[in-house]
Structure 1
Amino acid sequence: MTTDLQAVCAFLYREARHLDDREWEPWLALYAPDAEYWMPAWDDDDQLTEDPQSEISLIYYPDRNGLEDRVFRIKTERSSASMPEPRTNHMLTNIEVLAERDDAVDVRYNFHTLSHRYKITDHFFGTVYVTLRRHGDSFLIGRKKIVLKNDYIRQVIDVYHI
């Protein structure tokens, strides 16, 4: 089955829009219940950590429950790291299908996010590897691995930054 790249792009753009517009429930709805969400860290040898269970990660949620908890804390102002919520602008580029299976498609893309808070604008950029599972006439995110390429982060990084 050949995946329509335009449909993949539309899905990824919708996810970015939900983050920019702080539409948390529709954003969560794009994730499968068992979706893994992982941002490995860079180690002292400039290599990405490989195992979120035994090595440091910038963000790791083994399933959507972790994302739901994160959104709950953001929405109920129980996250001092998110108060006030930053204004973000996500840009996606170089979206390409890496592999296809009957039920899923593996996609790679680059991102650049601007995040404005306290009169300061930060830049976050990197590459995302995502597995999209076919779900009706659209997709659900089954796995998302974010490779943040910034070499210095001066604040807490959160799901809306990437």
Structure 2
Amino acid sequence: MQDNGPGISSSHFSKIFDPFFTTKKTGEGTGLGLSISYGIVKEHEGRLWVESPPNEGACFYVEIPVRMDETAAMRTAIEVALDADVIPQRVLVVDDEEEIAGYLHSALVRRGHHVDTANEGESAWRHIVNNRYDMILTDLKMPGMTGFWLFERIRR
């Protein structure tokens, strides 16, 4: 994928695939897109990298092998077996971005967890008051009640 924007500073190359890394203003992105893409490509034994000459845009490259070798196939089977041993937990996912909340919900349900979702802090608080959760995953930068505020309210 290629664009013709300002490009990516070479000082960011080592961080752009880290979860939640973003150079955007609050509310303009989550910093998860490249991290999730990187994870998917790695799951397929592939590579993802970027080239970005100054002021010439950025070009992301994805390379995925056509077939996995036996070792990779065996490792995948072992990972699946390990996932089957997960002890189901009650989880609340809180995120104002529906795509992210949906992705986390689906991923956790596939692993056997019982998941509720809330798209803003007040709704999350109502869930917390009425249910007992083993784990709460919350976006920290939400409009209205932020994840930080929700965390402080839970601590009290």
- Relative to the length of structure 1, the TM-score reads 0.20
RCO higher in 1 or 2 (8 Å CA, sep ≥ 6)? 1
- Relative to the length of structure 2, the TM-score reads 0.21
Higher helix share: 2
**Structure (1 or 2) with the larger CA radius of gyration:** 2
